[in-house]
Each structure stands twice: as C-alpha cells, then as structure tokens.
Amino acid sequence: MTTNRHVPASAPTISEVAKAAGVGRATAARTLGGYGSVGAETRNKVEAAALRLGYQTNELARSMSTGETKTLGVVVADIGNPFFAGVVRGISDYCENRGYNIVVLSTDENVAKERSAVELLRNKRVDGLIVASAAIKAQSADHISAAVKRGTPVVLVDRAIRGLDFDTVLIDNRDAARLAVAHLISHGHRRIGFVWGPETASPPVSVSELLAAAENALWSDGERLQGYLAALFESGIEFDADLVTTTPKNREDAERGVARMLALPCRPTALFATEADATIGALNAIRRAGLGYPRDISLIGFDDNPWAGVIDPPLTMVSQPMLELGQRAAEQLINRIDGNRAEHSVDVLSTVLIERSSVTGPLNAGE
C-alpha cells in the first residue's frame, strides 16, 4: 500500500518576515526573539507578518539566549508499566500547565541504564530531572548527586535512596502495608504470607536477617516489608520466615513462592501481595492449588486497577495516587527551578485501602 510522495514546503525565515513587514532583519529578529526594545507599531507589523506567513518562534534560539529549555527529564523503570504510565501522565499534565515539556526514558531497574539516561538528559540541557531511581544506596547514585552539584535540580519520585537527601515525593509504603496487614489481622488472621520479600540467595531465618536483606532492596519494597513486620509486632504475632517469599520479582516466581507457602503443613490463612505481578502470581497459585478466595485464603493486593473490581470475587486492594505522585513531583521540581524553595522536602502521599470481597475470617483455612 504505497502512494504519492509529499513535497515539504520550507518554513519561512526571519528575513522573509522582515521583508513582508517592511522592516530590517535585525528589527524582525529582535521582535520575534523577545529581546531588545521595539516600538509598539513595529511590533504589531512584524507579528502580523509572522502570523500571515506562519513563522514560528524558534524555541532553540530562545533557549540559547535564556539558558532554559523548558524541558524536564523523567527517568522511570518502565514507561509501559501502568503504574509509571500513571505517574508520567501526572507529570505531563502538570508540566503542560506550567509550559514545560518532558522527555521520558526507561531504565528497566538497571542502574547503568539510569546513569546513561541521566547523562543524556543533562547533555540535552533539561532544566531539571524527575527520577524513580533503581539505585539502592548513595554509593550507586553518584550520577544523581553529580547532576544536583552541577546545577540540575532533581526530584526523586516513588523511591528515596538510602543515605541521600533530595527533594522526594513518595507514597507512605510502610503505612500502606501496615494498614493492609492490620486489616487482615482484624479479621482474625495470624498466619499472613508476604509476597514479595527481598531477594536472597538463601531464605532468611530471622527478622534481623530479613531486614538486612531488605537494605539491599528498592526503597519501596523495604518499606512495605517493614510495614508488614510492624503490623505483626503490634498484634504480638511471631514472625515466621516461611511466610515471606524471597524469590526474584516476577509473576512466575511469585506464583512459585505462594505455591510453596500453600503446601506448608500449617499454611497461611491470608496473603498480602505488594505489587500487581505479585497479586497475579498469588491468584494463579491459589487457583492451581485448587483453593478459592476468600473461602480458603484471604488476599489483599497492591496497585488497584479496574480489573481487580471485576474479578470474581472482587479484590481488596491498596490504591496508589499515581497521578498525584507525578503532579507533586513536577510541582516540586518546577518550584525548585524557579528558585522558590531553599530547603529539601519530602512529600509523603497516603494510599487508600479499597475494600471489596477478598478478605474474610480464617474459618476454613488450613490451621
């Protein structure tokens, strides 16, 4: 299916606008570039001619003189992931209102890719950066420190970095997890599986080993684990290492991890799954084990979405304010660029537990 070629007409030049307006080229350039002084009558003539010819101000030229590109760099794990897509939409909406554009790059949670992305964006002279960093600790985040030191403001979104102190917009992951697990406990559950915990070579046997492993996990994952442990502790429930998965973070390993728990002599009566893929893996494991929820096991998942409401029975889910995360990060960054803020701040947004029908008491479960 091929057809005729198109013939691009060239864009009008400043000289053509000047000629049409009956003024000199320098005058037209001053008028359209927004620098120097031009009389009102001349300005009107030049602007009318520019409009008539379809001349467009060259933003590159403007950027060269102001040093601003009105562009923000955004670095996330995966723009194709619905969570980050929502965050980016929030950033994009806010930026549009403030006259900024965004350039988005994905890192697939790879610090080396993140490093190149930040370098590329700084080389593009973005006015600032929003980063959902894959860096676990300050040592692996020198690219971010370097950007800030060289005058490119950075706002971290979704994750803080241990040992680094930047403007940050987060959800309260620890509290989200604590409230979800407390909700299960309030229904009578005491054996509650956690999907997923930090990836380890061999399963941790104590809380301290687990917490040490969590120090090497993403900020958000570590926080959710702490929230789970806090809820158990507050209710005097002893930690059982068998009830935490420590497999790689993907749907299949989540399923295997939950299958292992469901085969325990004293299996969990409830599960808390901390991400969409963990939730899907858990659902698959429950079904493959010939069990039903909430009859045999209760379940709370993370990252609410329309499908969780139509699954039968519909799932009780933690809902994250993705758009707001993005909007706030963009707001913090543009305020920082405008020089309106001197001190670092950490914005912590709340989540909501959407109660549906996947939680009940542990009546029939395997205890």
Site for its own copies in 31-60 (CB under 8 A): 54, 56-60
Note whether 283 binds its own copies by CB under 8 A: yes
> Which listed residue (263, 266, 348, 352) binds its own copies by CB under 8 A?
348
Note whether 2 binds its own copies by CB under 8 A: yes
Note whether 85 binds its own copies by CB under 8 A: yes
Map the footprint of its own copies across residues 299-318, applying CB under 8 A: 305-312
* Cβ pair 137, 160 in contact under 8 A: no
> Which listed residue (42, 106, 245, 351) binds its own copies by CB under 8 A?
106
112/143 Cα distance (integer angstroms): 10
Note whether 8 binds its own copies by CB under 8 A: yes
Cβ proximity to its own copies, 221 vs 277, nearer residue = 277
Note whether 277 binds its own copies by CB under 8 A: yes
Cβ proximity to its own copies, 10 vs 202, nearer residue = 10
Map the footprint of its own copies across residues 129-158, applying CB under 8 A: 146, 148-153
249/229 Cα distance (integer angstroms): 20
Looking at residue 29, its amino acid is: A
Q: How far is the CB of 180 from its own copies (least distance, A)?
A: 19
Note whether 78 binds its own copies by CB under 8 A: yes
Note whether 103 binds its own copies by CB under 8 A: yes
Note whether 61 binds its own copies by CB under 8 A: yes
Map the footprint of its own copies across residues 155-174, applying CB under 8 A: 165-166
Calculated CA dihedral for residues 290, 295, 298, 303, nearest 10 degrees: 80
105/196 Cα distance (integer angstroms): 26
* Cβ pair 235, 178 in contact under 8 A: no
Strand arrangement of the beta sheet that strand 192-195 belongs to? 192-195, 270-273, 298-302, 316-319, 352-354
Note whether 323 binds its own copies by CB under 8 A: yes
Cβ proximity to its own copies, 83 vs 194, nearer residue = 83
* Cβ pair 155, 169 in contact under 8 A: yes
Map the footprint of its own copies across residues 237-256, applying CB under 8 A: 251
251/259 Cα distance (integer angstroms): 12
**DSSP one-letter code for 41:** H
Cβ proximity to its own copies, 115 vs 191, nearer residue = 115
Q: What is the 3-state secondary structure (H, E, C) of 55-82?
A: CCCCHHHHHHHHCCCCEEEEEECCCCCH
Map the footprint of its own copies across residues 183-222, applying CB under 8 A: none
